[in-house]
Structure 1
Amino acid sequence: MSIIRKTSLAVTAALFATALQAAPVSYDFTLQVDQIGDQLPVFGISALPAGPFTGSFSFDNTGLSAGVFTNLTLSAFSVTVGNFSWGLEDVTAAQVRADAGGALDRVAIYTEDGLNIFRMSFGYYTNTSWFALDNTNLQGCGWQGDPALDMYGACVGGSANAYTLARADDPVQVPLPSSLLLAGLGLGVSALVRVCRKT
């Protein structure tokens, strides 16, 4: 087999493999603060108002099924609350659910750096969407009330709708699997024609 045919087949295989890989997607989120505990300061926050705070996460979109909760392995994560930040290495669990249109309507990401805790549970509960626990003095954290959120301890957080979530990457710029498959198919046919002509 000639070098040209080998190269064509290799490129075809690579394009097919690329088409089958999941396209990475990224989201930005904003956290509004409307509750703070009674053990202050919390990550340098001594009173409200505070924030808003921001973060982001990314994952490989393997084709989420509408209405089905999917456990994720994130490829990137970061969030800062007050003077403290959590990163990908602190993530202990991540789960999402998509609606019929493909938009995320449930997002749960849990992080812990060994001491301080951040939890976001967008769309899950009627009294909270996120909280961060400053566990420096092992004071704990909690809240009560539904739908009202009454937070106590060394924590800060937001009520059910105290967040925004938006797709950060541009889906238009991600190569579509169908176009990659067509390109691969074209190269494959071209290589096959060359083989047939030689024989």
Structure 2
Amino acid sequence: MRVMGVDPGLTRCGLSLIEGGAGRSVIALDVDVVRTPADMDLAQRLLRIAEAAEYWLDTHRPDVVAIERVFAQHNVRTAMGTAQAGGVIALAAARRGIDVCFHTPSEVKAAVTGNGSADKAQVTAMVMRILGLQTAPTPADAADALALGICHCWRAPMIARMAQAEAMAAEQKRKYEARLAEERKTRAAAAKKLDSATKLKARKEAGAR
């Protein structure tokens, strides 16, 4: 499975390509950071990010795109920019029929380090260890993008099992509701038939009198 990990951001947007093998085996195939200047028009910044993402999607053809979900940030403007950057990449993937999955920062940290509250230094150190890198990916956005790809490779089986369980639950609910509807229909028909028979009997008795 090839996963394109995305650490979204307007100033720096990390992109990575991770290939997952048997078990927890993962290999880094590529990593980059797209930069846009703060004084550039917002639409142009998003366009630059979208174009870079589209190039990656068309060149690497990932099976899935894993994007960090904007969970909570004190800086509303930064949060909006992060969400917008992630949004244009998700749209580009969707247009190509590529699945998109979102992971919260704590999910990524927990998957890579075992601690959902790990700091960036710990995440970078574990990314280096997992991928066998001799030097730390820079800037930190590159390491975060790699971590997202690793996270999805390791969480994908669990996500698939959860989706299967939800689908089975939904199907069981549908069948249950259909059975209840059929039972109500049968009871209504029986009640109507009984009511008709009762009225017919009453008319016959009235006529006999």
Range class of TM-score, shorter chain: under 0.3
TM-score normalised per structure 2 = 0.27
- Looking at secondary structure, tell me which structure has more strand per residue: 1
The structure having more radius of gyration, on CA atoms, is 2
TM-score with structure 1 setting the length: 0.28
